[in-house]
Amino acid sequence: MARLEDYANKYQTIKMERRDGILQMTFHTDGGPLLWGGLPHGEFPQAFRDVGSDARNKVIIITGTGDSFSGGDRASDPARQPTPLTLRPRYWDRVYWEGKQLLNNLLDIEVPMISAINGPALAHSEIPLLCDIVLASENAVLQDAGHFPNGGVPGDGVHIVYPLLLGMNRGRYFLLTGQAIGAQEAQQLGLVNEVLSREKLLPRAWELAEHLTQRPQLLLRYTRVVLTQAIKRQMVDLLGYGLILEGMNSAEYAAQAAEAQEQGS
């Protein structure tokens, strides 16, 4: 059984604070907005496992730092640069394992989750959408900027979440065009439940969380379980397959880059 004092300060990209059973996870990079890359990719799966293993957590709030929920992309992450390393199965085995654990461990958290999307979510925007209640600030934007627009197969969860939430045709359009969906449109499409000003976003998340904690703990847990079961089934069927296809494409991309470098030298 995990304890907050054992994991609260364990992660470089997540600040944690808990009050009356409500745990807020604030994502960041060096105290500023979260820039997605190898570090959060490795930390998030472990953090979600710790949080889900702590029986004192009754409701979880996730949010970002400053005016952005998540940014960065494959091109800006040194760990994603095409190198001989990315051609090796051992490298992609780590990406494959972490990618599966990230979303599966999130869905294994057996208490209600509320996301407060405080600004653009351009990298792994499926994470806040997998929460049970999704709030967004007026300046929030949802996009999958790091995959197809940057030459990557959108195979690490977005290929499941967006067609599921938007419908098959709108979801495929979103992923293939790099579409950016603003907060108001996201609410109209059913991706977001409430749109609020930045200053009202977190207070509203806490208000909802405090309301939920008045309910019995088993009611909270089992409701979360029953509401996520269908999503978890799709993750089991499709997540690992998508990650493997993403890895194959990335290896080919790295091989072409290496060949071009050799020809130019």
**Per-residue pLDDT band at 1 (split at 50, 70, 90):** confident
State percent of the chain over pLDDT 70.
92
Lowest-pLDDT range, 49-63, 73-87, 139-153? 73-87
Q: How far apart are the first and last CA of the chain?
A: 56
Calculate mean pLDDT across residues 33-37. 95
Sign of the torsion formed by the C-alpha atoms of 146, 147, 149 and 152: positive
State percent of the chain over pLDDT 90.
81
Annotated catalytic residue, options 43, 98, 110, 126: 126
**Per-residue pLDDT band at 258 (split at 50, 70, 90):** low
**Per-residue pLDDT band at 150 (split at 50, 70, 90):** confident
DSSP assignment string, 149-185: GGT----SSHHHHHHHHH-HHHHHHHHHHT--EEHHH
Q: Please tell me what DSSP assigns to residue 76.
A: G
- pTM for the model: 0.92
pLDDT digits (tens, 9 = 90+) for 153-177: 999 999 999 999 999 999 999 999 9
| pLDDT over 90 (residue 260) | no
pLDDT digits (tens, 9 = 90+) for 180-209: 999 999 999 999 999 999 999 999 999 999
Q: What pLDDT score does 129 carry?
A: 98
Output the CA angle 86-89-90, nearest 5 degrees.
90
Calculate mean pLDDT across residues 60-70. 97
| pLDDT over 60 (residue 82) | no
| pLDDT over 70 (residue 220) | yes
C-beta of residue 104 within 8 angstroms of C-beta of residue 155: no
Q: What pLDDT score does 76 carry?
A: 47
Q: What pLDDT score does 58 carry?
A: 98
Please, what are the domains in the chain?
4-264 (3.90.226.10)
102 closest CA partner among 40, 162, 163: 40
pLDDT digits (tens, 9 = 90+) for 221-245: 999 999 999 999 999 999 999 999 9
DSSP assignment string, 209-255: HHHHTTS-HHHHHHHHHHHHHHHHHHHHHHHHHHHHHHHHHHHHHHH
The mean pLDDT value of the chain amounts to: 92
| pLDDT over 60 (residue 248) | yes
Calculate mean pLDDT across residues 116-135. 98
Does 126 participate in catalysis according to the annotation?
A: yes
Calculate mean pLDDT across residues 136-165. 95
